[in-house]
């Protein structure tokens, strides 16, 4: 499950387990120091289901009760730090999935975003030792059953809400992110001590790595961290986050959205690659009958350009990053870890290339029309000269 999956040819009936399923036993590896750890893991999996979703219409078509996925504001923060529009969240009961001694809760939360994204969240409580937690992180990162199960649920939601989705289609892409919320440590450890004495163990959890890491890898894995108060700390890596905090619902919601945003950037990047290939083919044709030249070709390329721009703006404007400096910093750090700015830059370059191709196609079509008009004028002038001469020949005795 690490990074992303291209789950093609799945069978929804086969993906849904009938009861707790044993994935594989967790081998013990000695880790000293962190002691016993209690909390819960949230596994987020993001999918794209269409161009955009009419959330109000989707809410009316969902079978299960749904609610708005709000930023709850567990800390003091103005109310206007919020998603816009508010995503719709629905819960579904599913058979638990077992990972050795750990079992997921019997249900998932499914969140629909207006820009066509759907996020599925599994929850797995744990009360264990550090060595088991590292093995759990490794197992969850290597597991493919959760993405298959999530995809099957998203397919069911799409079937129910198809009328509310513009150009409905479940993409083969999936992006996952794992968040460990730590509620308690036994014995208790101060956050500053966690990030110094136990950074090696934390790095192994963040990298889902059962073996020891180099100092360089440890430094990189634990380099992005943030605290709100003296008793909490959040460590963010590219595929796993550790939240030592009992009030982290909002932080998890921000990380879930950042994961959703990364999926949409990957999806849009792939769409633009396909659009550029088709546009290059249209532009590369020779002569006035080249494929794509004319109104239909210009319309297709223009639609590609507009669709890309709309999706890009909807995703980037879905979360209002004002009103809560802490959550805004969490989002920026997560985006930095996911290299969202690099994805954005690449997408903007491709949009500009698509616009350039559109302009060249438009110029070529205009030039072709002008050439045709010139030949028509030349023909009319020739006809005006030849017709009187022909008439004279016809009337000559």
- 122-174 pLDDT, tens digit per residue, is 999 999 988 889 999 988 888 889 999 999 999 999 999 999 999 999 999 99
> Residue 263 corresponds to which tokens in the numbers above?
């999926």
Q: Name the domain boundary from 255, 288, 309.
A: 255
Residue 275: predicted pLDDT: 75
Q: What span, in angstroms and rounded, lies between the C-alpha atoms of 76 and 78?
A: 7
Q: What span, in angstroms and rounded, lies between the C-alpha atoms of 205 and 103?
A: 19
Residue 381 within any structural domain of the chain: no
Which helix or strand (DSSP H or E) is residue 233 part of?
strand 233-236
Same domain, 53 and 80: yes
Same domain, 241 and 276: no
Residue 245 within any structural domain of the chain: yes
Total domains, the chain: 2
List the one residue out of 310, 308, 292, 311 whose CA is nearest residue 300: 292
Same domain, 196 and 269: no
Residue 20: predicted pLDDT: 47
Same domain, 79 and 205: yes
Same domain, 83 and 183: yes
pLDDT in tens, 341-394: 888 888 888 877 777 776 766 767 677 778 888 888 888 888 777 777 776 666
Q: Name the domain boundary from 255, 279, 311.
A: 255
Same domain, 211 and 285: no
Residue 386 within any structural domain of the chain: no
Same domain, 51 and 177: yes
Look up the domain containing 58 and give its range.
Answer: 4-255
Residue 114 within any structural domain of the chain: yes
Residue 363: predicted pLDDT: 67
Residue 338 within any structural domain of the chain: yes
List the one residue out of 316, 325, 334 whose CA is nearest residue 84: 316
Residue 356 within any structural domain of the chain: yes
The rounded Cα 149 to chain-centroid distance in angstroms is: 18
Same domain, 174 and 70: yes
Residue 389 within any structural domain of the chain: no
User: What distances in angstroms separate CA 284 from CA 13, 274, 278, 288, 338, one per listed residue?
Assistant: 46, 15, 10, 12, 36
Same domain, 87 and 207: yes
Residue 8: predicted pLDDT: 39
Same domain, 105 and 223: yes
Same domain, 177 and 307: no
List the one residue out of 180, 181, 182, 161 whose CA is nearest residue 170: 161
Average pLDDT of every residue of the chain: 80
Q: Name the domain boundary from 209, 236, 255.
A: 255
Q: What is the pTM of this model?
A: 0.78
* Positions of the chain with pLDDT lower than 70, given as ranges: 1-33, 65-82, 280, 282-302, 304-305, 318, 320-323, 358, 360-361, 363, 365, 391-397
User: Cα-flanking dihedrals φ and ψ of residue 337, to 5°?
Assistant: -65, -35
Same domain, 324 and 274: yes
DSSP state of 212: -
Residue 301 within any structural domain of the chain: yes
């Amino acid at each position: 499950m690490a990074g992303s999956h291209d789950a093609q040819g799945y069978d929804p009936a086969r993906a849904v387990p009938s009861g707790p399923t044993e994935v594989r036993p967790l081998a013990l590896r000695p880790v000293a120091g962190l002691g016993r750890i209690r909390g819960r893991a949230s596994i987020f999996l993001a999918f794209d289901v269409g161009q955009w979703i009419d959330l109000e219409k989707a809410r009316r078509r969902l079978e299960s009760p749904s609610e708005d996925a709000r930023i709850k504001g567990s800390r003091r923060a103005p109310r206007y730090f919020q998603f816009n529009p508010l995503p719709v969240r629905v819960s579904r009961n599913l058979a638990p999935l077992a990972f050795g001694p750990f079992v997921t809760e019997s249900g998932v939360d499914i969140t629909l975003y207006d820009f066509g994204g759907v996020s599925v969240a599994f929850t797995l409580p744990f009360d264990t030792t550090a060595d088991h937690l590292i093995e759990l992180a490794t197992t969850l990162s290597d597991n493919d059953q959760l993405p298959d199960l999530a995809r099957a649920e998203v397919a069911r939601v799409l079937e129910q809400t198809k009328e509310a989705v513009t150009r409905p289609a479940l993409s083969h892409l999936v992006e996952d992110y794992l968040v460990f919320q730590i509620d308690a440590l036994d014995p208790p450890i101060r956050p500053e001590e966690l990030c110094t004495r136990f950074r090696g163990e934390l790095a192994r959890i963040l990298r889902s790595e059962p073996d020891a890491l180099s100092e360089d890898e440890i430094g990189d894995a634990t380099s992005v961290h943030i605290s709100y108060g003296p008793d909490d700390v959040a460590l963010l890596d590219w595929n796993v986050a550790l939240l030592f905090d009992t009030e982290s619902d909002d932080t998890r919601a921000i990380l879930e959205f950042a994961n959703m945003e990364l999926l949409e950037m990957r999806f849009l990047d792939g769409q633009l690659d396909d659009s550029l290939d088709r546009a290059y083919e249209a532009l590369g044709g020779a002569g006035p009958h080249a494929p794509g030249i004319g109104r239909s070709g210009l319309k297709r390329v223009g639609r590609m350009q507009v669709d890309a721009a709309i999706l890009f703006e909807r995703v980037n404007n879905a979360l209002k990053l004002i009103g809560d400096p802490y959550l805004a910093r969490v989002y920026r750090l997560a985006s930095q870890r996911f290299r969202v700015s690099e994805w954005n830059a690449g997408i903007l370059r491709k949009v500009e290339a698509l616009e350039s191709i559109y302009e060249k196609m438009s110029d070529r079509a205009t030039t072709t029309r002008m050439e045709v008009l010139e030949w028509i004028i030349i023909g009319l002038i020739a006809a005006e000269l030849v017709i009187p001469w022909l008439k004279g020949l016809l009337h000559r005795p």
